[in-house]
Amino acid sequence: MEFSELIRTGRAQAQLLRGPEAPPLRGTLCVTGHHLLLSPGPQSTPDLWLLLLRNVDSIEKRVAGDSGTITLRCKDLRVLQLEIEGVEATLDIARSIEALSSLESVITSFPFFYRPKGLRLGDAWHFHPPERYYKRVARETDAWRLSEVNEDFSLCPSYPRAVIVPRAVDDDALARSARFRQGGRFPVLSYSHSPSGTVLLRSSQPLTGPQKRRCAEDEELLRAVLAGARPGARGFILDTRSAQAAKQARMTGGGTEAKAAYPGWKRLHRPLERGRPLQESFVRLVEACGDPEQSMDRWLSRLEGCRWLAHVKEALSTACLAAQAMEREGACILVHGAEGTDSTLLVTSLAQLILDPMSRTMAGFQELIEREWIQAGHPFQLRCAHSAFSHARPKHEAPTFLLFLDCVWQLGRQFPLSLEFGEGLLLALFEHAYASPFGTFLCNSEKERCLCEVRTRTHSLWSGLNQPKEQRKLQNPLYVLNPLAIWPSVEPQSLRLWQGLFLRWTHPPEPAEVAWEKVWQIVTGKEETEASQPTASA
């Protein structure tokens, strides 16, 4: 295997430091093509799989005397410290990990080798095809059709093969509209809100440019949207950039819809942070969380200074605005920013969670992620190439998906009974988005996934997560179907730092686990057994 060229030393004697309260773990450290293992010895416990090398975000080595220390900072925010015997071994191991963790090739990544017992290749990949969501829409309205105009990904490389568009617009018109939108992302249906007969659409920015160009087919498409919705419906174009930024985009060929060209549609600007500032915010928050010795004042000012919670607030309130306009105003909404692959998806997916009880179930939420993030072309590979610890200069990295998960967590905290899934699922999604044995979050678009044959050569995360043994970790035992919209409070007092994620490795997890156990006992009615055997608990 070609990995062997990158592995300078496969083995070394090492010990894993486990903080002040636990003794270090000794054993033989092994570097394989995809993993780091610690084997405690022949007779004792089985090998400890330290981590997937892909999970390593940054590596720091230090040598002193005849041994060395390696600090691995992981994408899931864990920090591992290893003490390794021998200076040479330390440096070799560090170099091997560095080389293996930064491999860019998709088809040599671990998902292509991962063959777990009990799962069949190809399972669950067809859980959430666009046809399925279309069927749901078609049950309520016939104003929409499933178009396969993007069959060969030529129209829009970041869209899936099939998209839902107004029935009144033919494929040729779609092709013209696609040419008028950045990256070919013409307006498509994201969610149809049947109680109010309105729809949520998403696209990228129109290419109006400095000459304020127009596109008749694009205008026709949006007109058809209003015609197909509730009679008398109006529309709002929710631009996730500031009015000024949208105007400036004209200089580089982009821009925003001219009011006169789209009768019935009104524009709203809700600037959301994206790209590098968002990544920096994430880095600063994680930095602040990694320093337990700082004073209270310092911690609070750093928490505020990183502005992460401000981003959570902005994202949530923008999604609420969209949802409110649909539910209360009976308006149709088109969301876009520039590319339409980041903050756009953040807003459309959160708005659905707020409005749609289906998307708050376990299966519905997975479908939402598949449809609104993976198939909608959020460039996971670029955005999640590095997490908060990397020293590399960020290029395309941004924790947009993490911001989405955080917003969902806030919803779950404010409506503890209304989500069928618990924090466990959100944590798992965060981990798998950054480093995973499954293929679900690989690549940047359906087109790339198709080229790499991800669907046939890797396992789907959903089949991994939906195994019965995983369910207890992922489910919310308190769930009761709530058929109504859930309107969160977005005031600063109502938003909390997501301790379960950001302080996951510094926070002793036991008290929360004990509480969770108790919740399960109460809900499943197993409580009496505990009471009758008071000594059973450990």
Partner 1 sequence: MKRALEHLKVENVRLVDRVSPKKAALGTLYLTATHVIFVENTPDSRKETWILHSQISTIEKQATTATGCPLLIRCKNFQIIQLVIPQERDCHDVYISLIRLARPVKYEELYCFSFNPMLDKEEREQGWMLIDLSEEYKRMGLPNNYWQLSDVNRDYRVCDSYPTELYVPKSATAHIIVGSSKFRSRRRFPALSYYYKENHASICRSSQPLSGFSARCLEDEQMLQAIRKANPGSDFVYVVDTRPKLNAMANRAAGKGYENEDNYSNIKFQFIGIENIHVMRNSLQKMLEVCELKSPSMSDFLHIKAIMDAGIFHRKVSEEGASVLVHCSDGWDRTAQVCSVASLLLDPHYRTLRGFMVLIEKDWISFGHKFNHRYGNLDGDPKEISPVIDQFIECVWQLMEQFPCAFEFNERFLIHIQHHIYSCQFGNFLCNSQKERRELKIQERTYSLWAHLWKNRADYLNPLFRADHSQTQGSLHLPTTPCNFMYKFWSGMYNRFEKGLQPRQSVTDYLMAVKEETQQLEEELEALEERLEKIQKVQLSDTKVKSKQSEPSRHSGFSTSDNSTANTPQDYSGNMKSFPSRSPSQGDEDSALILTQDNLKSSDPDLSANSDQESGVEDLSCRSPSGGEHAPSEDSGKDRDSDEAVFLTA
Smallest distance from partner 1 to CB 403, Å: 16
Q: Which is nearer to partner 1, 184 or 488 (CB)?
A: 488
Residue 145: both structure tokens together? 């059709």
Smallest distance from partner 1 to CB 57, Å: 21
Smallest distance from partner 1 to CB 200, Å: 16
Q: Are 380 and 442 in contact (CB under 8 A)?
A: yes
Q: Which is nearer to partner 1, 472 or 507 (CB)?
A: 507
Main-chain phi, psi angles of 21, to 5 degrees: -95, -10
Smallest distance from partner 1 to CB 521, Å: 9
Smallest distance from partner 1 to CB 83, Å: 21
Q: Which is nearer to partner 1, 64 or 480 (CB)?
A: 480
Using CA atoms, how far residue 493 sits from 106, 309, 456, 497, in Å, is: 43, 11, 47, 11
Q: Which is nearer to partner 1, 248 or 482 (CB)?
A: 482
Alpha carbon of residue 375 to chain centroid: 12
Helix ranges (H only) for 290-361 are 296-305, 308-329, 343-355
Main-chain phi, psi angles of 467, to 5 degrees: -70, 140
Residue 1: both structure tokens together? 């295997």
Main-chain phi, psi angles of 523, to 5 degrees: -70, -35
Q: Of 441, 467, 436, which Cα lies nearest the Cα of 454?
A: 441
Smallest distance from partner 1 to CB 198, Å: 15
Q: How many residues does the chain have?
A: 538
Q: Which is nearer to partner 1, 392 or 523 (CB)?
A: 523
Four-point Cα dihedral 389, 390, 391, 392, nearest 10: -160
Half-sphere exposure (CA, 13 Å, Cβ side) for 529? 9
Smallest distance from partner 1 to CB 400, Å: 20
Rounded to an integer, what distance in angstroms lies between the CA atom of residue 207 and that of residue 183?
10
Rounded to an integer, what distance in angstroms lies between the CA atom of residue 365 and that of residue 420?
9
Smallest distance from partner 1 to CB 236, Å: 9
Smallest distance from partner 1 to CB 472, Å: 17
Smallest distance from partner 1 to CB 312, Å: 11
Q: Of 206, 201, 207, 208, which Cα lies nearest the Cα of 166?
A: 201
Q: Which is nearer to partner 1, 451 or 523 (CB)?
A: 523
Q: Of 88, 50, 95, which Cα lies nearest the Cα of 66?
A: 88
Q: Which is nearer to partner 1, 33 or 357 (CB)?
A: 357
Q: Which is nearer to partner 1, 260 or 536 (CB)?
A: 536
Q: Any idea which residue has 């991962």 for tokens?
A: 114
Q: Are 478 and 393 in contact (CB under 8 A)?
A: no
Q: Of 200, 197, 173, which Cα lies nearest the Cα of 188?
A: 200
Q: Which is nearer to partner 1, 278 or 323 (CB)?
A: 323
Q: Which is nearer to partner 1, 351 or 452 (CB)?
A: 351
Q: CA angle 240-448-97, nearest 5°?
A: 95
Smallest distance from partner 1 to CB 360, Å: 12
Q: Of 67, 46, 43, 71, which Cα lies nearest the Cα of 58?
A: 71
Residue 313: both structure tokens together? 């607030």
Q: Which is nearer to partner 1, 456 or 494 (CB)?
A: 494
Smallest distance from partner 1 to CB 538, Å: 6
Q: Which is nearer to partner 1, 42 or 534 (CB)?
A: 534
Rounded to an integer, what distance in angstroms lies between the CA atom of residue 388 and that of residue 73?
9
Q: Which is nearer to partner 1, 392 or 512 (CB)?
A: 512
Rounded to an integer, what distance in angstroms lies between the CA atom of residue 152 and that of residue 518?
52
Q: Are 278 and 248 in contact (CB under 8 A)?
A: no
Smallest distance from partner 1 to CB 53, Å: 29
Q: Which is nearer to partner 1, 467 or 489 (CB)?
A: 489
Pairing of strands 163-166, 67-74: unpaired
In the chain, count of helices (H) and strands (E)? Answer: 20, 14
Smallest distance from partner 1 to CB 291, Å: 9
Q: Of 307, 335, 286, 272, which Cα lies nearest the Cα of 434?
A: 286
